[in-house]
Amino acid sequence: MTHANETRLAQSLPSSVPFVGPETMERAQGRPFAARLGANENIFGPSPLAIHAMAEGAKDNWMYGDPENHDLIHALSTHHNVGPESIIVGEGIDGLLGYLARLFIEPGDAVVTSEGAYPTFNFHVAGYGGVLHTAPFKNDHEDPDALIAKAHDVNAKLIYIANPDNPMGSHHKADVIHDMITRIPDGALLVLDEAYIEFAPEGTAPAFDTRNPNVIRFRTFSKAYGMAGARVGYAIGEAARMKSFHKIRNHFGMCRSSQLGALAALQDQAHLQSTLKSVTHARKRIGEIAADNGLTALPSATNFVAIDCGQGGDFAKRIVEELTTENIFVRMPFAAPQDRCIRVSCAPDDDLNLFAAALPRALKRARA
Ligand SMILES: *Cc1c(COP(=O)(O)O)cnc(C)c1O
């Protein structure tokens, strides 16, 4: 009996998954986490209007969602003042990054990212046979100069940068990104992941320029809008580029009630503003908890804080494990030297109080 073979590419890929989910960890531990602070989720939650829209919309989930995402795209077009033909909506940034790789990457194509940057991008690139080249972080920031230089060296097709960055929470000002855009090598496309942009200081996002075919920008309802489980993201770029996504995307990929939820969330900018206030407060509180324990919180332009634990990755890993034993879910960066940190999501005081109580015990055991 012979069986169908996977493609040679699929056979060559590791069977590992980039993230072990908190649910997997809870099943392994046999109990739920008391505080879920590891996945950069927005624990302050969605707008009540979005919750209402999704709940109301649930009864209509017998219908597929609008494959054109018409209403949401037009609302985004008004919100960002870019033409609707320059916007596509998809199943979160993650889903859209998959489409991007499918559109641009053939086996052997060179792709540049930072060492230890957002791994889901790498996962999609590898899935289409792309070859990843990395530039190191510089002072806990992704390094635009090194990324551009590397892209020249390897003749890269895609260059990835997240601004603000995950996992360090650092950011570059708009003029730094703008300057990077002016230096994109011929034949390359800049993948500008702005998952956290709403949390960043004014002046972090360059103005949209949808005439430029060499930049695609990615945004999401998962983070500031607090709707990670609804899976709604969008990308903005030159109209002809964006049109190409329709050739390969999953036309019925969007959940109908999620489309309604995202539309309502976008229309509730007051809720977004109150979330941003809560996140600012939580960032400060996480900084205090770190300082109380002799650790250093790094500045954050996101809804999470990287805490420098002062030693190498092994020590940070022990802290993460000990916090897991304490029923506190946090994660840590994958690559050195960023992996000296643990990464903690902003959350209401109740969750952070649990973290504050558990951290000294976890540290003590990690040091032992
Ligand atoms: C969380 C995150 C995403 C994922 O966004 P989704 O829209 O939920 O897929 C993308 N990029 C970065 C840098 C992130 O941290």
Q: Whose CA is nearest to atom 7 of ligand 1?
A: 92
Query: Global pTM?
Result: 0.97
Q: Could you tell me if the CB of 92 is within 6 A of ligand 1?
A: yes
State pLDDT tens for residues 129-144: 999 999 999 999 999 9
Three-class DSSP category at 307: strand
Q: Could you tell me if the CB of 41 is within 6 A of ligand 1?
A: no
State in Å: Cα 93 to ligand 1 middle.
5
State pLDDT tens for residues 148-206: 999 999 999 999 999 999 999 999 999 999 999 999 999 999 999 999 999 999 999 99
Q: Could you tell me if the CB of 228 is within 6 A of ligand 1?
A: yes
Burial of 367 (0-12, 13-18, 19+ CB in 10 A): exposed
Q: Whose CA is nearest to atom 11 of ligand 1?
A: 195
> How far is the C-alpha of 71 from the C-alpha of 63, rounded, in Å?
16
Task: Provide mean pLDDT across the span 15-29.
Answer: 87
> How far is the C-alpha of 36 from the C-alpha of 45, rounded, in Å?
13
State in Å: Cα 297 to ligand 1 middle.
22
State pLDDT tens for residues 197-249: 999 999 999 999 999 999 999 999 999 999 999 999 999 999 999 999 999 99
Report the pLDDT value the prediction gives residue 18, as an integer from 0 to 100.
67
> How far is the C-alpha of 46 from the C-alpha of 226, rounded, in Å?
5
Phi, psi of 110 (to 5 degrees): -85, 140
Report the pLDDT value the prediction gives residue 250, as an integer from 0 to 100.
97
Three-class DSSP category at 196: coil
State in Å: Cα 206 to ligand 1 middle.
19
State in Å: Cα 99 to ligand 1 middle.
14
Q: Whose CA is nearest to atom 12 of ligand 1?
A: 195
Q: Could you tell me if the CB of 94 is within 6 A of ligand 1?
A: yes
Exposure letters 255-278 (e unless 16+ CB within 10 A, then b) = bbbbbbbbbbbbebeebbeebeeb
Assigned token pair, 357 = 């109580």
Q: Could you tell me if the CB of 338 is within 6 A of ligand 1?
A: no
Phi, psi of 304 (to 5 degrees): -145, 165
Q: Which residues is 329 bridged to in the sheet? A: 36
